[in-house]
Amino acid sequence: MHTAEIALSLLLVVIIVVSLLSNVLVLICFLYNAEIRKQVPGLFILNLTFCNLLLSASSMPLTLFGVLSNAHPGGQIFCQVVGFLDTFLTTNSMLSMAALSIDRWVAVVFPLSYHSRIRHRDAVIALAYTWMHSLSFSVVAACLSWVGYHQLYASCTLCNGRAVNAKTQFAIYTMVLHSLTFLLVSVVLCVTYLKVLKVARFHCKRIDVITMQTLVLLVDIHPSVRQRCLEEQKRRRQRATRKISTFIGTFVVCFTPYVITRIVELFVTEPFNPYWGMLCKSLAYSKAACDPFVYSLLRHQYRKTCSDIINRLLKRSSPNGSGHQQENGKKSRNQAKEIVKDGEVEARPTN
């Protein structure tokens, strides 16, 4: 085996392990915490987790086998089934990300009417559309025998037909597929999350103004407390930008190389470097390993649920008593937090 094949194999192993463990952990948190199950975004996250788990258990191991052996993994029918799942699950996961972005846009831009605009019934309808959208493209590809083993990506996925007419039809199908999945989702992510960032920056400015006014009134405030307040303002501004960049950036970085290679492949006759195709496919798979952290595990509610599960397994109680003792010994830090909190409360929109 070449060094590139060994590196790609190790990369795929890491992606498979991380994806399986992290998505299983998200599923456990969903089943354990009733509050998460009651929330509308929980349905979209559950659907995304379901797609990522199936993709990690079906398509990724066969791609790893193809990279290691440079051979067709399994029989033709088996490979067609896996290729059908690969198309369906990838498309479904992309649309789930778009649904999550729309949900967060409504929650931030219309906070007072969010529960009347986005209900569980609306989430079920959106999920039904994602399944119908994904199934339609997958069924068409399967019926026209456009799924099978693709040597460039060492995986069971969409592949070209042999006849000239079939190649033309396949090119049209591929362009429509990526236009209504990758391109559509990219536009939705950019529009919704940039609007969310705009609203977040507006509220940050209002909080900063109120915080500075409070600092001016408090003449006898300790300089260290004032400095902490200013540092908190800076962190608040950076936090919103960092989160939005993560949502959009992971999607673009993981899927763009694969989609561009797919489209360019339709119009060139010279073969691509196989290692490039395997790398693009691995990057697309890596999104399944990133999603649990981007959308779930790094959020406070999921981190607290994980902590509760660990404490329950270890039969430990929540250390609330020690937390009160620590708070009593940090008066200056609490004073800074109170000032920032007062600014946040006054900056919130009211009825």
| Whether pLDDT at 325 is above 50 | no
Which is more confident, 271 or 82?
82
> What's the whole-number average pLDDT of the chain?
83
- Residue 332 binned pLDDT confidence (cut-offs 50, 70, 90): very low
d(C-alpha 49, C-alpha 290), whole Å: 11
Torsion over CA: 159, 291, 256, 133 (sign): positive
| Whether pLDDT at 25 is above 60 | yes
Single-letter code of the amino acid located at 16: I
The pLDDT tens digits for 55-81 are 999 999 999 998 888 777 777 888 899
| Whether pLDDT at 117 is above 50 | yes
The pLDDT tens digits for 279-303 are 999 999 999 999 999 999 988 899 9
Average pLDDT over residues 86-107: 94
Close Cβ partners of 230 (under 8 Å, ≥ 6 residues apart) = none
Helix (H) or strand (E) holding 159: none
The pLDDT tens digits for 237-260 are 677 788 889 999 999 999 999 999
Which is more confident, 329 or 228?
228
d(C-alpha 151, C-alpha 148), whole Å: 10
Question: The domain 3-335: what is its CATH number?
Answer: 1.20.1070.10
- Residue 206 binned pLDDT confidence (cut-offs 50, 70, 90): low
In this prediction the pTM is: 0.81
Read off the tokens for 65: 């086998």
| Whether pLDDT at 215 is above 80 | no
Q: What are the residue boundaries of the structural domains of the chain, listed by start? A: 3-335
d(C-alpha 317, C-alpha 60), whole Å: 40
Helix (H) or strand (E) holding 148: strand 147-150
What pLDDT, on the 0 to 100 scale, is given for residue 347?
A: 42
Three-state DSSP state, 158:
strand
Contact between 80 and 142 (Cβ < 8 Å): yes
Phi, psi of 256 (to 5 degrees): -60, -50
| Whether pLDDT at 165 is above 80 | no
Phi, psi of 148 (to 5 degrees): 175, -165
d(C-alpha 73, C-alpha 66), whole Å: 6
Contact between 80 and 147 (Cβ < 8 Å): yes
